[in-house]
Each structure stands twice: as structure tokens, then as C-alpha cells.
Amino acid sequence: MKYEEQILKFWKDNNIFEESIQMREGAPYFSFYDGPPFATGKPHYGHILITTIKDAVLRYKTMKGFQVPRRVGWDCHGLPVENLIEKELNIKNKKEIEELGVDKFNEYCKKSVFACVEDFEKTLERVGRWADYSNAYSTMDKEYTESVWWVLKKLWDKNLVKKDYRVSPYCPRCATTLSNFEVNQGYKEVRDRSIYVKLKLKNRDEFLLIWTTTPWTLPQNVAVAINKEEDYVCVKSINGKYILAKKRLEILNEDYEIEKEFKGEKLLKLRYEPVFGYLKNVEKAENAFQVVHGDFVGTEDGTGLVHVATMYGEDDHNIGKKYDLPFIHTVDESGNFLDFVEDYKGRYVFDTNKDIINDLKNKEVLYKEELVEHTYPFCWRCDSPLMYYAKESYYLMVTKFKEELIENNKKIHWVPSHIKEGRFGKWLQGARDWDFARNRFWGAPIPIWKCEECESMVCVGSIEELEKLKIAGDIEDLHKPYIDNVYLKCECGGKMKRTPEVFDCWFESGSMPYAEWHYPFENKELVEKTFPADFIAEGLDQTRGWFYTLHVIATALTLEDINLGKNNPAFKNVIVNGLVLDKTGRKLSKRLKNYPEVSDIFEKYGADALRYFLLSSTNIGEDYRFSEDRVKEVWRKIILSLENCFTFYNTYKKNGKETKSNNILDRWILSRLTTLNKEMVQYLDNYELTRAIRLFNDFIDDFSNWYIRRSRRRFQKPESNLELEEAEATLKFVLKEISKIMAPFIPFITEKIYHELKDDGELNSVHLCDFPELKDDLIDIKLEDEMKEAREIVNLALNERMEKGIKVRQPLAFAKIKKEIDKRLIDIIKDEINVKEILIDNNISEEVLLNFELTDELKEEGMAREIIRNIQQMRKDLGYSKNDRILVKCEGGSLSKDIKNLILEEVLAKEYIFDDDLEAKKELKVYNIPFLIGIKKVYEN
């Protein structure tokens, strides 16, 4: 699409984007937050979708008179970048990073962050995304980090931050905890071994039956939990006596009889013999290996007896606290068994399940083994299976302000609306405390220092504060490892050392409303004026990512008014889009190559077609089915149609005078245009992009397949100058207003059309214009309805002809229609369906009824039309210009003189010839009568 490239250049050369903002100086401000993408791979259709949505809304708001600055940002920190570098350097674990040197490792990360920025900028620019790329913010900037520190300090001062020892989802490969919303991004359906294990009660010949799908946690077993309210039984089989919940008898795979039945309470405090002896002599072992109560114990699966490993399950951990059970790790931070677990020492836990099961068999404590299918969480970045792992970490106490989170969500307008109470609302209902510390390297450092003497902690909220407290180290670069050499002075006189973790990168992106402007250290007024954002847009996955962290941090900060308002969400309006899948519904994958190259699509159909497809084809929020064919169809039906309408105007325009028209077609299309304008504004002001744009599907059909087609004669053979002037003025007006109405969505073709239509003194670009607000007095709903009816009648009549096999070229005597309709529309219908007369007849049952009786006269006219069409085709094939005059030969049948003259007139022929000196000839049959026709051009001197 060459003209698109030219328009990009025009925008650039003339600073149109910059001007669109400058010219709105002093106008109301429309505030937008750009969710920073990771530029660690090439941009794909998902990025293009979201960028198109953002661009369309922001262009629209600009045309509506707002000042809309658009600053982009880049997400720089976190696991995505670290994993990329680890792969590049073939690093397998954290230890190898430390061996390489954290400074070197972070230097690699830093360099890679912008590796793909250029690709991103290029692609986004090519889509027509207007944004300020030169002034982009990066989450790794020192200023950005300082603002993130400020955020944490504010929350710290409100007692919303707590250091705690808890069980969290944990990736052993990345060796870091993950937040529960990160975990949510990586659930997979897997097949695992599940085992039933017999634990022998002390001094009794009965066994407790437990069930687990994670055999590797058994060496850390310290208790068995039951539910004291449930019914339990002791059954007897030839192999022994087992205790399990009454509701779970179905799991037994042998004959048995129930010996005893009792409430779970009876089991409490019973002692059993551990399967593995590793924890027999540890601290608090005296409390271990007993039956305890757990509210969470149910009877939906398993045996109703739950094995408790205090270090590897959240419920287990809590029970451990309640019963003062041992808290001893059997597994290190890389997921390998510790040395004292002699049988498996040094081995990766997920690789030992099979051996553990074998050992249980040898110990004769395995009751049975099964395969189960269940969902299991995997690391969203490195794909390793996650563990639940007890660890000390820092928590934002989200549960303390859950009510406010839910209240603030009520202030947000969600598109699609169901997300508000659905996906997002439910997520807020279940909000958990947020573990925001990561034991990683490439991230903003957590600004918490702890005294080596008195153990008191300080959270630093600014670089200035850090300078004041510092007794050693350099703070030029806030990244690890440098920041870890910065020591502070404690009030007690002792030395304070920084906690080694970095921020969860989601904490950083959630802080962007403040950090992108280095608030409150700079741009105080700007941030306070523009918070919360009027609008943001990202993908559905962000309901548990960026949308969530923005919301959590904004809600926490505005629990009190600190100049950012009280009880504010971070954004007022949000559009949420689905995934872009291939045409069969699979994820787009580089490996499968199930999608066309982005650049090919631009080349063949242009950015406008792609944008229109993305904005109109799927209801916002649902997943897209992407295929080249569908983009092509949009290009043909919408973009090309619009272009053809414009080309038609250009071909026939004379003087471009402005004239008010009374022609019914003109009045109709103006009414349609005004209605389109009004409805579109309604939808757009409600952020319903898809519904807004779909209005244009019908409009372009009306415009191109009806208005222009029906207006051809007025341009090609006007009955008067006035008639042409009216038609021309209307067409020009409609094209120009369409270019403005559609400019936010298809910015290229609209710019092209506007450029050629704009008069002297008008603005230089359609994107600088105001969005049209056409006057209501142009609307004539009755006329719109009647024209719609007329089109329906025409469609019905044409279908009827098709069924009968009688071509439209064959005139018919009359048609009957059922309902009265504007007389001027009757003429249009007559012409379209080629009948001599239209009669109104209330008694017919159909909308329209054609009379197919053909008189000789009608037949003759039909023949003439067939001949004319063939001659016109020959003219075209020979490349004659539309003013070239020709000579015609026509032999066969008997045509009256009037009909022969009709033919001459229609094909611009001078006269008939009788010789065979022809440039083209053709034989054809009409109503079984053979004709020979031919033409040659008249060369006049």
C-alpha cells in the first residue's frame, strides 16, 4: 500500500501528530496510561490489536477537542528479561549467575531490553499508532525506581507492608516466589501419579490411609489432618485394617467389612509411625506424627485424611503454626533434596517421585497407585512446574483494604461490561496478600534496610533520604549489585544492610501512573491533574496482571488523600481485548507458522484493512480468529469500496461548487450520514468501539452499492447543470465528512480522501479536524425507512427474476407492490428492477410481484439490451476511450428501426456498416435467435 507509506511520511514531515496536541493547548486534558510492553521479542498481532484500540480512542478524543498527550513506556525489569539472558548465556540456575557476577548479568539484561524496541516502534508506527516514542519512559530509569520507592514507603508508613514467613507459589528454577496472579497465568492440565499410603498407628494394628499427588513432599510429612465433624470408619480386609472417611470407601480396591464407625474427633492426637525417619530428631519432633484437625479437610477426593508437610502447602503451614509442628525444609531453594534426606540428596524433587513410590512399595506402605488428570501450576516465564514453598518474604497486606478495592471497582467503566463483576470483580473478592519481593537480580531493589545489631528495619522513600542515612557505598546506579554495597546507619548506632530482594516487576508497572513522571519529585501538578487515567486498554490476561496491580496500588495510596484524591481507582474507563488466535482457534505460534507475516498484510491490504478488521470483526473481549482471507475481505468490502467511491467522484467532478440539493437520493444519503454520525458518537463516548465501527459496514454498502450506483446517470448524463452540481456537491460533502468520521479507525485512506477534497484555507490534515457534529435537520427518518424498504423490494424482485431465469436486462411490463411508497422512490425501483410500471396492490400476499409475460415488443427491447451489453464489452476489450465513436455491424433477427437507433445511441455509434472490415466480432444467441455483431472505430481527421 504505497499511499499509506506516503501518508506516514506526510505526517512525519509536517509534524501532524505534534500539531494535533499543540493546537489543543488549554483544552480539557484526556489522560491515558500506556501499559508498558516488554520489548523482548518481535511485536505480534496481539500487540497490533491493542495498539489499534488505543490509537482509535485517542485519535477520536483528540478530534472531540481534548488535549491527548501520548507517552509510551517500556517494561524493562523482571523474569522475562532474566530468562532471555539465561537462555542466551546457557545459564541453568541462580548459582551460575552469581558465579558469572551479578554486575555482568545485569549488564547483559540492560543491553537486551532495548534490542527489539526498534522493531516495536516500526511496527506500531506502520499501524498508524500515534505516540511520543522519543520521550518514552523506562521502568529501569533511576527516576522511575525512586518513585516506586516512594510508593512503597507510603504503604510502609500505613502499615500495609509486612515481612512474613509463609508458603508461596515458588519456581525452583527461577528460585523465586511468585504472586498468586502470576501463578494464575500458568495452569496446565497434566497427568500425575497419585498414591495412597498406609501410616501405621502406634501400638495398634490399624493404618491411617492418606493420599497425595506430590510424593516428594512425603519426606517432610509431620502430621495427618482429619475433619473432626466427618464420619470415619475402620475397615478390615485380608490385608489389614484401614482408617478412612466413610464417604471415601469407594477408593478401596479389595473386599472389606466395616469394623467400626466414629466421628473424626476420635482420631485426634493418635500417633503414627513416620514413613521416613529424616525428621525424627528435629526440633519439636515431639509434636510431630500425630493426627490433627483441619477445617479444610473434605471428602470430595482422597481419603479424608490429609498428609501435612508444613513447608510445602499453605494449609499445612497454618496447621503447623496451630499445633507447633516442626518447620524444617527437606528441599533447598533450587528444588533439590537437602543432604540429610540421604536417599534422595541433591536430586530435583520432580525427578524423584518414581523412586519414592518404589521405596514405599519396598517398605510395604503403598496401598495403591493411580494416574490422575488435574490442573497444575507452571512458571509463567520458564515453564517449570511450581512448588509451594515456605519462605520469608515481603507482603503488601491487600486483604486489609479488600473492601476499598471492591468499592473502587464500582467507579470503573469496563468494556465489555461483564468483566467488572465477573472476571475482575471475582478476582478482587478473592484478593490475597501480595508477595512483592523476588529473590532475583534484574529489578528495582526493595528499599528496605535492616540493622545488623538491633534488627530494626527502615524503608527508604527517596534518594535524598538514602543519601542522609548512608554510611558506605555508591548510589549512582540503583541496581544490584551496587545497591547492596550501600549501608545505612541505624539509630542504635549499628550498621544496616539492605534486604537482598528486588521488586516483583508487576509492582513496578502498577506504579507507572506516578513513576512515569517521577512523582512526587517532579511533575507534581501534572500527575495530580491527570490521575486517575480517563482511559486504558490491554488484554484480558491483565485483569490479573496490570489492571489488578494498578488498582491495588492506587487504592492503597488513596486510602487517605495525599493529593491524589481519596478512594480512587487508577483508571476510569478500560477496554479489555481477547486473544488473537489463528483461523481454527489455535494460539498463534512461531513454530507452527499459522499466521501471515505482519509486513505481508501491510503490503497487500494495508494497515487500514488490518485495523478495521481488528476493530470490527469480533466483539471486544472475545478471542479473534485471524486469517488473511478475512482481512482481505475487509479490504475489498470496506477500504476498496470507499476508495472506489472517491475515484468515481474524482472521475466525474466538474467544479466542486457547494449547492443544496433537493434530490431524494441526496437527501437520503445526507440523512444516513447524519444518523451514522450521531449513533457513532453515542457508542464511542461509551467506549463501544466494535458497535460503533460496525455501523459503517451498512453505511458503506448504502453509499457505494446504492447511492453511487443510483447516482451514476446524474454524473454521466446529467439532464441539467444543476442536476450535476447537486450530485457533485452532495457526494463531495459526504466523502469529506466520512473521512472525518472514520479518521480515528482508518487513518490512512481517510487522510488521502480528505487531502484531495479539502478546500483552500482548510486544515492540513483530517486528524486536525474536529469530529463532525452534523445538524439534526438533515435527518429524515421516514425517508431512511422508506429507502430501506425500497432496497428490500428491489432485492426481492431481483431474486424473483433470478429464480425465473430472466435477466435484469429484459424489461418487464409491470410489477405490483403491496405498500404505498414515496413516488420518487417508485422511479428508483422501476429502474432497478427494469419494469415499465409499478402498481400498488394491497391484495397481493407478497411484498412485490413481477409480471413475467413478455410481449414481442418487450422481447425485442431485451434483445437490444443484450446486444448493447456485448458491444460495450467489445469497446472495453479493444481499449476504446469513452468518447471514441464506432461503427457497428449487427446481423440476424429482425429489429425495428427504433430499437436499432436505441442501440446506436447507447453505444456511441455513428451508423451501421455492412462490410466485414471489423476490429472485433462476436456471434450470440438471444431467445434462440442468432446474431452476429462487430465493431470498428471511426478515425476522424
The binding site for Zn ion (CB under 5 A) comprises: 171, 173-174, 379, 382, 384, 451, 453-454, 490, 492, 494
Where are the strands (E) in 118-256, listed by range? 132-138, 161-171, 176-177, 187-200, 206-212, 223-226, 231-237, 240-245
Of the listed 427, 506, 517, 706, which one is catalytic? 506
Residue 414 a catalytic site member: no
Residue pair 50/538 in contact (Cβ under 8 Å)? The answer is: yes
User: Least distance from C-beta 594 to Zn ion, angstroms?
Assistant: 27
Residue nearer to Zn ion on the CB measure, 487 or 814: 487
Least separation, in Å, of the C-beta of 86 and Zn ion?
10
| Residues in CB range of 5: below 8 A, 6 or more apart | none
The bridge status of strand 573-577 relative to strand 413-415 is parallel
H-helix or E-strand containing 629? helix 628-634
Q: How buried is 248 (Cβ within 10 angstroms: 0-12 exposed, 13-18 middle, 19+ buried)?
A: buried
Rounded distance between C-alpha atoms, residue 544 and residue 182, angstroms: 8
**Shorter beta-carbon distance to Zn ion: residue 438 or 732:** 438
Q: Of the residues 12, 92, 426, 590, which is catalytic?
A: 590
Q: What minimum distance in Å lies between the beta carbon of 453 and Zn ion?
A: 5
Q: Which is nearer to Zn ion, 457 or 899 (by Cβ)? A: 457
- Show contacts of 81-85: CB within 8 Å, 24+ apart: 81/38, 81/40, 81/109, 81/112, 81/113, 81/442, 82/109, 82/174, 82/440, 82/441, 82/442, 83/174, 83/381, 83/382, 84/40, 84/112, 85/109, 85/112, 85/442
Cβ atoms of 438 and 503 within 8 Å: the answer is yes
Kindly state the smallest distance separating residue 380's Cβ from Zn ion, in Å: 8
Q: Find out whether 177 and 439 touch, Cβ atoms under 8 Å.
A: yes
Cα dihedral 525, 530, 532, 536 in deg (nearest 10): -150
Three cell numbers, residue 811:
424489461
**For Zn ion, the closer CB: 382 or 899:** 382
Residue 588 and residue 594 in contact, taking contact as beta carbons nearer than 8 Å = yes
Least distance CB 492 / Zn ion (angstroms)? 3
Give the H/E segment covering residue 148: helix 142-157
Does the annotation mark 546 as catalytic? Answer: yes
Give the residue among 812, 912, 917 at the shortest CA–CA distance from 865.
Answer: 812
Burial class from Cβ neighbours inside 10 Å (0-12, 13-18, 19+) for residue 566 reads exposed
* Measured distance CA(209)–CA(202) in Å, rounded: 14
Q: What's the CA gap between 250 and 264, in Å, rounded?
A: 18
Q: Which of 220, 290, 542, 810 is catalytic?
A: 542
Is 887 within 8 Å of 910 (Cβ atoms)?
yes
Nearer to Zn ion, 486 or 564 (CB): 486
Q: How many CA atoms lie within 13 A of 443 on its CB side?
A: 27
619: cell is 466483539
Query: Judged by CB, which is closer to Zn ion: 261, or 453?
Result: 453
Catalytic choice (34, 55, 75, 504) = 75
Catalytic residue from among 434, 546, 635, 706: 546
Range list of H helices, 158-259: 180-183
Q: Which is nearer to Zn ion, 84 or 829 (CB)?
A: 84
Is 36 a catalytic site residue? yes
In the complex with Zn ion, which residue's Cβ is closer, 88 or 453? 453
3-state secondary structure of 97: helix
Q: Which is nearer to Zn ion, 372 or 492 (CB)?
A: 492
Nearest residue to 504 via CA among 381, 328, 408? 381
Which is closer to Zn ion, CB of 307 or CB of 381?
381
Q: Find the shortest distance in angstroms from Cβ 212 to Zn ion.
A: 23
Instruction: Establish whether 542 is a catalytic residue.
Output: yes
- For the residues of 101-134, what is the DSSP string, one character each? -HHHHHHHHHHHHTTTHHHHHHHHHHHT---EEE
CB 456 → Zn ion: shortest distance, Å?
5
Closest contact distance (angstroms) between CB of 385 and Zn ion is: 9
Q: Residues with Cβ < 8 Å from 476, sequence gap 6 or more?
A: 482
CB of 494 to Zn ion, least distance (A): 4
Distance, in Å, from the CA atom of 846 to the CA atom of 354, rounded to the nearest integer, reads: 76
Q: How far is CA 613 from CA 58, 460, 605, 634, in A?
A: 18, 49, 11, 6
Nearest approach in angstroms of CB 378 to Zn ion is 8
Separation of alpha carbons 832 and 554, rounded Å: 62
DSSP state of 808: T
Q: How far is the CB of 377 from Zn ion (least distance, A)?
A: 11
Q: How many CA atoms lie within 13 A of 151 on its CB side?
A: 32
472 or 839: CB nearest Zn ion: 472
Give the separation between CA 510 and CA 531, rounded to whole angstroms: 13
Q: What's the closest the beta carbon of residue 156 comes to Zn ion, in angstroms? A: 17
**Minimal distance, residue 175 CB to Zn ion, in Å:** 8
Which of 36, 37, 416, 532 does the annotation list as catalytic? 36
Helices (H), 560-627: 598-604, 606-616
- Amino acid letter for position 232: Y
The residue from 587, 654, 782, 876 that is catalytic is 587
The DSSP result for 345-360, as a single string, is TT-BGGGTHHHHHHHH
The x, y and z cell numbers of residue 72, run together, are 509510551
Closest to Zn ion by CB, 109 vs 490, is 490
Among residues 492 and 844, whose Cβ is nearest to Zn ion?
492
Positions marked active-site: 36, 75, 506, 542, 546, 587, 590
